[in-house]
Amino acid sequence: GKYLSHWPGNATPAELNVTCAGDYDGSGFVNGDDFDDFTADFEAGSTFADFDGNGFVNGDDIDAFMVHFAAGC
């Protein structure tokens, strides 16, 4: 899948042992493209933006994504 942090079953990055959850687009780098892609999915209400895997797209997902994005890889 395009998004390493979101796989079938809506597992969270921790559950999947994803080594770089901030790399939202799976390019191998954490950069502005990851931020832009996450933001676009979030604004569209896409289930891909349910970063914490709780079944809702809300501010908690932004917080969870930003922790991983800021940490880099």
For 3-47, how does the pLDDT look when each residue is reduced to its tens digit (9 = 90+)? 444 444 555 555 555 678 899 988 889 999 999 999 999 999 999
| First-residue to last-residue Cα distance in the chain | 19
State residue 3's pLDDT score.
46
Cα distance between residue 60 and residue 2, in whole Å = 22
**C-alpha angle 31/47/7, rounded to 5°?**
75
Cα distance between residue 21 and residue 27, in whole Å = 11
pTM of the model: 0.75
State residue 20's pLDDT score.
87
Please report which helix (H) or strand (E) contains residue 73, including its range: none
Contact 24, 34 (CB under 8 A): yes
